[in-house]
Structures are given as structure tokens and as C-alpha cells.
Amino acid sequence: MNMKAYKHKVQYYETDQMKIVHHSNYIRWFEEARIDYMDQIGISYPAMEKEGILIPVLSVEAKYLRMLRFGDVAEIVLGIKEYNGIKLVIEYQVMNEKTGMIHCKGETAHCFLTEQGKPVSLKKNYPEYHKKFVQMAEDNMQSQTENE
């Protein structure tokens, strides 16, 4: 599947006293990009929530490599690093659209829960979602192999 990068124009309020993007914003952009990615593959957060599936964040990692500033356009590319039907790990690269340079790399880990907080297996209970996540994980691994 040909995925489009998520684009975010840096806003003034996202900068700090040093006039660079505050580190906390990258985490927000990860979420924006993740929701856009899921929409692109045909799995929307609202649709999953209507079915009683919640996708909490278990952990977040970010490695800041370069600074972005007000007016820059961040291009966020992501892919599924790991998926087993119960747990999902997504990796991110935040690039400057103008230069193509990577400014931040990150990763988020998630699980799938019922509204009562019990783990849910997409493989067992929601095979249509499971199939899409498996396909995207395979596509990401194939893409990484081709880029090596």
C-alpha cells in the first residue's frame, strides 16, 4: 500500500523560549500521524472505539536529532515495527519537508483493551482489523529490507 507521510506545519505556540519546537510536541505529532496512518489503511480510531476497542499507549520513546522551528513543515513517516494481535509497536521518523533530514526518531507501544480494561486479541475477535495490521507490518518490514 502506498502510504502518504503525515505533514504538520510548526506553529508558533509549539516553540519554546529558544524558538525551537518544544520536545513534547513530537509526541503529539506521533499521535496525529498514527491516527492519519490508521485512516489511510482503513481502520479508524472512532470506528474501533464504537466496537469497544481501546488502544492505550504503553510507552513512548523519542530521540531528538535536530531542531525544527516555527514555520518548518514536519513530515512524519511511520510503520508498524511489531504486531502480534494483542500488542502493536509503531516507529516514527520526523523529517524536515524542505531538507528531507531526519529530526526525530521515535516509537510507541500499544495494546488493545475492552472498555472494561481487559486485553483483547484482534486476531481472535476482530480478524478484519488483524489482517490489515499484519499486512502493514509485513509491508514495513519489506520496505526496510529494500532500503538496506
DSSP label of 10: P
The residues annotated with a catalytic role in the active site are 16
- Who's near 121: CB < 8 A, 6+ residues apart? 85, 86, 112
Among 35, 30, 38, 132, which Cα is nearest to 85's?
132
CB-based contact 5:77 (threshold 8 Å): yes
